[in-house]
Structure 1
Amino acid sequence: MFDERSPIYQQIADQIKDDIVSGALKEEEQVMSTNQYAAFYRINPATAAKGFQLLTEEGILYKKRGIGMFVSTGARSTLLEARRDRFFEEVVDRMVEEARRIGVPLADILKHLEKQREEGNQ
């Protein structure tokens, strides 16, 4: 599951975020404890705890004392909004800038996107 692209605790946080976005984890649903997570993935519990801490600081997870960690209400919409923003910054804005550099009119881009959408509905 884990690779060398980023620290394991970040990958843990990213995986939990992906699970929330996909609906595999629902708002107000309890997540595995850090010890369960560590045992399941055979990692140090402190590493798992650091990933959970990141999510807590972001407001994605919250702790119910004596019970465990839960997905915060509104976490999915917060994550979707952040991903939409990142999509426009990292993909669309860069695409438009490259199109300007090489002389592709915006109308051509829109026509191409519409064609892709139509082909996707078939």
Structure 2
Amino acid sequence: MDEGRPIFQQIAERVENDILTGALSEEGQVPSTNEFALYYRINPATAGKGVNLLVEQGILYKRRGIGMFVAAGARERISARRREMFVLEYIAPMLAEAASLGITPHQISQLIEEETS
């Protein structure tokens, strides 16, 4: 676990990561809050808070009496949100810094090409 962020957010992110990698498939069942709590040695209420966060976002849904399941389209919703966050957290600041240094977008592309080849 990452000490810098709330545990419930880390649980939600791990479920999202499992959806993105295919470890959890759309319409597939996810572990219960009690299973999360046992595995991570945390309070079931904390695990439930992470799972409920994903329910609020439409990533998971509850089948009464059966458990939690991955919603159809969850993978694409997670990818789209993370792409937006990537732009806000990495691309926009990089472009601002590059502009202050006189580096053009074309030069940035060239630098990226050089670093990845």
Question: Which TM-score applies when normalising by structure 2?
Answer: 0.93
- Equivalent residue number for residue 78 of structure 2: 79
Count of aligned pairs:
117
Distance in 1, matches of 2:73 and 2:40, equals 27
Structure 1 residue ranges (4+ consecutive) displaced by more than 4 angstroms after TM superposition? none
TM-score normalised according to structure 1 size:
0.90
The alpha carbon displacement at 1:114 in A equals 2.7
Q: CA deviation at 1:108?
A: 1.1
Instruction: Say which SS state the counterpart of residue 70 (structure 1) adopts.
Output: strand
- The reply to whether residue 90 of structure 1 matches residue 89 of structure 2 is yes
Give 1:34's aligned residue.
Answer: 33
Q: 2: CA distance between counterparts of 1:32 and 1:8?
A: 16
Per-residue CA deviation, residues 75-104 of structure 1 (Å, 9 max, x unaligned), is: 000000011111111111111110010111
Which stretch of the first structure deviates more once superposed, 61-70 or 84-93?
Answer: 84-93
2:106 corresponding residue in structure 1: 107
Whole-angstrom CA distance in 2 between matches of 1:22 and 1:14: 12
CA distance in 1, matches of 2:77, 2:12: 15
Q: Secondary structure at the match of 1:24?
A: coil
- Matched with 1:58 is 57
Structure 1 residue runs without a partner (length 5+): none
SS at structure 1 position matched to 2:83: helix
For residue 42 of structure 2, what is the aligned residue in structure 1? 43
The equivalent of 1:21 in structure 2 is 20
